[in-house]
Amino acid sequence: MKLFNSMTRTKEEFVPITPGEVKMYSCGPTVYNYFHVGNARPFIIFDLLRRYFEYRGYRVKFVQNFTDIDDKVINKANDEGVSYDVIADRYIKEYFTDAEGLGIRPATYHPRATETMDAILDIVQRLLDKGHAYIAENGDVYFRTGTFPEYGKLSHQPLEDLQAGARISVGELKEDPMDFAVWKAAKPGEPAWDTPWGTKGRPGWHIECSAMANKYLGATIDIHSGGLDLTFPHHENEIAQSECANGCTFANYWLHNGFLTIDNQKMSKSAGNFFMVRDAAKEFGYETIRMFMLSAHYRTPLNYSAESLKMNKTSLERLYESRNNLEFRISKAAGDTMTAEESAKLEALGQHRIHFIEAMDDDLNTADALSSVFELVRDVNAYMGANQDATKAFLSGAHALLMELTGVLGLVQQRTEENIDTEIEELIAQRAAAKKNKDFAEADRIREYLLNEKGVVIKDTRQGTQWSRV
Ligand code: AMP
Ligand code: ZN
């Protein structure tokens, strides 16, 4: 499997540190609000990467943090006159509501900064001990960037260029303008933690990721991921801290998703051009948003528009329709063994799995992987249409393949109450009886009633009446 590594700027074959296991860390949300569709992109993509690794037989340890203490969380808490943890608890809960809707599985670990204080204090202390960090006059702790000559290697900017662009301002507490805070001294009224070095305060943002990756996955991890905007300074700073504290490579592969844009501008809270996931979901459905994210390669920019969402909704409906048709036919079909022709057909359908895997192995080419799924659906629909007496065995095989591939993508797994609604089944049976008795007026009345009162459309097929909700 090949992945594009931002560190080397090439597609590289993925080789795990421990055979059969993947240790991956992805930067998670700052929990002071609901998350927007732009934030959803890395959450969906790296959930997909995790699912795909599992599909290919890897055990995956996946960590995604919650930044539950920072200026934004504190400001929001002050605005509402509550403690910071009330805000964090609320938006962590809301994160899981939206994530579940989007088919994002919970990570193996979801550490919060404030619950990882032991590991954070430990890494800051190690940086101080080794001279990679220093305590400023006001009690802040800064990373001494000059002690890490490789600084800039991820964003491919030499340290000298970065230094030339930075200026030290009057009253600056830092030794060098490129130094950055790993620990922030307590300001009056702010939540603060005691430290071994004596200055009460709270962690900087970058150090929390270094500490958590180290605590849950070890000193060297396989994959570190996040949005493109995190490359510099966030990931560069994580690398500096982790590699100086541990004396080894921090992450073997760095993956960055491209921006989700709107009118071709990056969607962001600060620019105000964003849609919260839950608002977009009200209009198009959560799963449509996932489908939309997978419709493009994760590294390319992806533009959000109502037309694009609508198109993806239609595509998703096609997948559901194919699944539902298969399930209906399975419920009516007989035959526990396939005919020779069916066996050959099912084997031919397996080609779509091969193409799907080829696409996903090529740096997660979800657009091509989805094309394979649609080709599968097209072939299955055509075969089912032409072979009204297809066996249950064949139909079940085709269904299993469709569910396997869509399952890897985290799509088409939803169930409605369709199969369990006895009242509707009862009405359909009454309509069938009316038709048999040539009472077409009654049959039509039931059809109208189902549509208007139950929101159910019915379709007569050779195997009987199939129904679905509008
Ligand atoms: P934040 O909560 O702002 O730290 O962002 C959480 C994640 O969303 C990070 O991985 C960001 O890089 C990512 N992100 C934020 N805005 C966008 C966007 N418009 N497109 C893609 N990723 C984004
Ligand atoms: Zn991070």
Cβ 207 vs Cβ 121: under 8 Å = no
Quickly list H helices, 81-199: 84-101, 117-129, 159-165
Q: Which of 31, 34, 41 to mutate to test the pocket of ligand 1 (most atoms within 8 A of CB)?
A: 41
Cβ 352 vs Cβ 401: under 8 Å = yes
Residue 157's identity, in one-letter code, is Q
Q: Which ligand is nearest to the CA of 30?
A: 1
Three-class SS state of 242:
helix
Q: Which ligand is nearest to the CA of 260?
A: 1
74 C-beta neighbours (distance < 10 Å), count:
19
Write out the chain's pLDDT in tens, 470 residues: 999 999 999 999 999 999 999 999 999 999 999 999 999 999 999 999 999 999 999 999 999 999 999 999 999 999 999 999 999 999 999 999 999 999 999 999 999 999 999 999 999 999 999 999 999 999 999 999 999 999 999 999 988 888 777 776 767 899 999 999 999 999 999 999 999 999 999 999 999 999 999 999 999 999 999 999 999 999 999 999 999 999 999 999 999 999 999 999 999 999 999 999 999 999 999 999 999 999 999 999 999 999 999 999 999 999 999 999 999 999 999 999 999 999 999 999 999 999 999 999 999 999 999 999 999 999 999 999 999 999 999 999 999 999 999 999 999 998 766 555 778 888 999 999 999 999 999 999 999 999 998 889 999 999 889 998 87
Three-class SS state of 79:
helix
d(CA 208, CA 230): 14
**What is the residue with the minimal CA distance to atom 15 of ligand 1?**
39
Ligand 1 mean position to 424 CA, how many Å? 45
Ligand 2 mean position to 435 CA, how many Å? 64
Residue 180 pairs in a beta bridge with: 143
Quickly list H helices, 295-339: 306-332
Ligand 2 mean position to 234 CA, how many Å? 6
Quick check: pTM over 0.85? Answer: yes
What Å distances lie between residue 300 and 109, 214, 303, 304, CA to CA?
28, 30, 10, 13
Q: Which ligand is nearest to the CA of 224?
A: 2
For the record, the structure tokens of 148 come out as 């890490």
Ligand 2 mean position to 235 CA, how many Å? 6
d(CA 205, CA 389): 62
343 C-beta neighbours (distance < 10 Å), count:
14
**For the CA of 28, the nearest atom of ligand 1:** 6
**For the CA of 27, the nearest atom of ligand 1:** 10
Helix axes 84-101, 71-80, angle to 10 degrees: 110
Ligand 1 mean position to 37 CA, how many Å? 9
Ligand 1 mean position to 26 CA, how many Å? 11
Cβ 331 vs Cβ 464: under 8 Å = no
**For the CA of 39, the nearest atom of ligand 1:** 8
Which residues are near ligand 1 (CB < 6 Å)? Answer: 27, 29-30, 38-39, 41-42, 226-227, 229-230, 257, 259-260, 266-268
Cβ 199 vs Cβ 135: under 8 Å = yes
